[in-house]
Amino acid sequence: MAGLKRTHLCGKLSLQNLDEEVVLMGWVHRRRDHGGLIFIDLRDRYGIVQIVFNPDLAGQAFSKAEEVRNEYVLAVKGKVTARPSGTINPNLTTGEIEIYATDLKILNKAKTPPFYISDDVEVDETIRLKYRYLDLRRTEMQKSLILRHKTTKAIRDFLDKHNFLEIETPMLTKSSPEGARDYLVPSRVNPGEFYALPQSPQLFKQILMVAGMDRYFQIARCFRDEDLRADRQPEFTQLDMEISFSDRETIITLVEEMMQYIFKETLNLDLSIPFPRLTYYEAMERFGSDKPDLRFKMELVDISDLVKSCNFKVFQSALATGGKVKGINAEGCGNYPRRQIDDLTKLAISCGSKGLAWIALTDEGLKSPIAKFLTEEELNNIIKKMGGKQGDLLLFVADSPSVVATVLGHLRLEFGKRLNLINPEEFNFSWIIDFPLLEWDPEEKRYVAIHHPFTAPLEADLDLLESEPDRVRAQAYDLVLNGVELGGGSIRIHNRSIQEKMFKLLGLTKEQSLEKFGYLLEAFEYGTPPHGGIAFGLDRMIMLMARKDTIRDVIAFPKTQSASDLMTQAPSPVEPKQLKELHIKLDIVTKKSSDVN
């Protein structure tokens, strides 16, 4: 390095280093040229320190400093000096000192960056992603990646203390039915055959339990070829765990202690445990979501019994077909203009509702298009049950229980944001338990697993498995943080015949289950311990901890919504030779040619 060796870090210097001769290396954060005196803020990962170039003390270094520009990479030799009184900068951790440069080496020049390396400029994400190496120089981004590192370190430390083994599982594995679309990798040595990248290490970790590993974890990359969202990337990271001889309580308690440890180690926050638990049914009934944001109340109110004999046909027909009528009270929104209520109706319809009934308790009295169908008594009972008072807006949805829940759940969140009911500082954890095991898929005309096909039913519900599959509850649990599903897990089936029964319920033939999962079924016959586990979306967790709105901000090199990497330009076409080796012929239907057809 031009004959110099770094002795100190820019951000770590203080009055304690007074009069020391130091060699620093870093990037030019800013340069202030006063003509006869030059200041350079030198930046490394640890912070910023001010270098002073004075022609009277070091003429050569000074003249070299004149040609320096932002983001040049420098090696600076100099002496740590206390700043003259009145020039202390309280905004810098190193603000009490400065370095009097005696020697300057330009290690590398830099083009003027396309955007400022600074946290207070909002730059278009396209440019940030294209020049990710510049974006990642910003302290805000470095803070996120440091938090990520600290979190995974805390996880490893905690789990190591609790006898977990970190074990890697294959990335090239077997495509399985159920679940998300697989990313496929062609096998050159087995023409026409494909590996799948793992959607999660689920089966491998269960096999590791069969193998007697007792406690396993992995910080595992997972792949799902589905559409992207702010909190969904095609490749993402799971904290995956599995424990033998465990029941639900063991796992829930361990996870609570782990979260407490992680938040203490990384954010120095004390989480109070145990976390509250809600059953799936309760969460849907009260909050209209299986991942309710419990940072605010605004619960759903069931008014079905209050309107069971009213004259409003929409309510009547919903009730007659086994549905419900429920509402929420948007407090203080009673004077919304009609247009705003229409917008809410649109939102409701986009969530699957047929419409939105409302009662506005305006300053000029009650306004409601449905009032004429209700008796005075019915109206009063509804308002009373919903805690309505002057200035409130009561919104109602009548439909099947699941539609009612979805629609009101969305409206509830909308008002939570709109009315600032959410404390952004809060970390609100909760467990959702007793999920249904199965769900009828009308499109595929079969049951699908709500969690996954390896989840064990609640023992109390085992008898229902064949008679009433949709009433069977699962030994599954989700951890929810601030309305985001952080992770989910279950106690697994560890018995071949129950697992086969499960596959059968999911519509797999015996041949299919053997072809896809035969190794698991066989393993189950060689002494499988009861076991269970959980997996967390690490990106989401760190996003919440860093108070970001997208996991892209806590992933070093994320992809765009169209699953491309703007820096490397992946994905991209490959050489015909590569395809030939893989025995792959392309069959691309372009939009234009399909229009012609």
Partner RNA sequence: GGCCCCGUAGCUUAGUGGUUUAAAGCGCCUGCCUGUCACGCAGGAGAUCGUCGGUUCAAAUCCGAUCGGGGUCGCCA
The type of residue at 279 is: T
For residue 52, state whether it binds RNA (rule: CB under 7 A): yes
* Residue of the chain from 112, 163, 572, 593 that contacts RNA (CB under 7 A): 112
Provide CB contacts within 8 A for 566, sequence distance 6+: 126, 129, 130, 132, 560
* Residue of the chain from 9, 136, 146, 228 that contacts RNA (CB under 7 A): 228
For residue 450, state whether it binds RNA (rule: CB under 7 A): yes
From residue 550 to residue 579, the character string flagging contacts with RNA as x (rule: CB under 7 A) and all else as - is x-x-------xxx-x-x-------------
Toward RNA, which CB reaches closer, 141 or 374?
141
Could you give the count of Cα atoms lying within 13 Å of 6 in the half-sphere of its Cβ?
13
Taking the C-alpha atoms of residue 597 and residue 38, their distance in angstroms, rounded to an integer, is: 69
Taking the C-alpha atoms of residue 406 and residue 285, their distance in angstroms, rounded to an integer, is: 10
For residue 54, state whether it binds RNA (rule: CB under 7 A): yes
For residue 171, state whether it binds RNA (rule: CB under 7 A): no
For residue 172, state whether it binds RNA (rule: CB under 7 A): no
Type and span of the H or E element at 329 = strand 324-330
* Residue of the chain from 123, 219, 498, 521 that contacts RNA (CB under 7 A): 123
Contact at 8 Å (CB) between 412 and 329? no
Nearest distance from C-beta of residue 385 to RNA, angstroms: 29
* Residue of the chain from 9, 14, 20, 30 that contacts RNA (CB under 7 A): 30
* DSSP output for 14-28: -GGGTT-EEEEEEEE
Q: List the helix and strand counts (H, then E) for the chain.
A: 17, 22
Toward RNA, which CB reaches closer, 14 or 560?
560
Question: What b/e readout covers 264-279, taking b as 16+ CB neighbours within 10 angstroms?
Answer: ebbeeeebeeebeebe
Type and span of the H or E element at 533 = strand 531-537
The type of residue at 405 is: A
Toward RNA, which CB reaches closer, 85 or 272?
85
With CB under 7 A as the rule, give the number of residues binding RNA: 69
| Candidate ranges 173-181, 261-269, 328-336, 377-385; the one touching RNA (CB under 7 A) | 173-181
Q: What is the 3-state secondary structure (H, E, C) of 51-68?
A: EEECCCCCHHHHHHHHCC
From residue 175 to residue 194, the character string flagging contacts with RNA as x (rule: CB under 7 A) and all else as - is ---xxxx-------------
From residue 514 to residue 533, the character string flagging contacts with RNA as x (rule: CB under 7 A) and all else as - is --------------------
Q: What one-character DSSP code corresponds to residue 584? A: -
Contact at 8 Å (CB) between 564 and 572? no
Toward RNA, which CB reaches closer, 58 or 395?
58
* Residue of the chain from 202, 368, 482, 528 that contacts RNA (CB under 7 A): 202
Toward RNA, which CB reaches closer, 366 or 448?
448
Positions in the binding site for RNA (CB under 7 A):
30, 32-37, 39, 41, 50, 52, 54-56, 69-70, 83-84, 86-89, 91-92, 95, 98, 112, 114-116, 120-127, 178-181, 199-200, 202, 224, 226-232, 350-351, 448-453, 550, 552, 560-562, 564, 566, 591
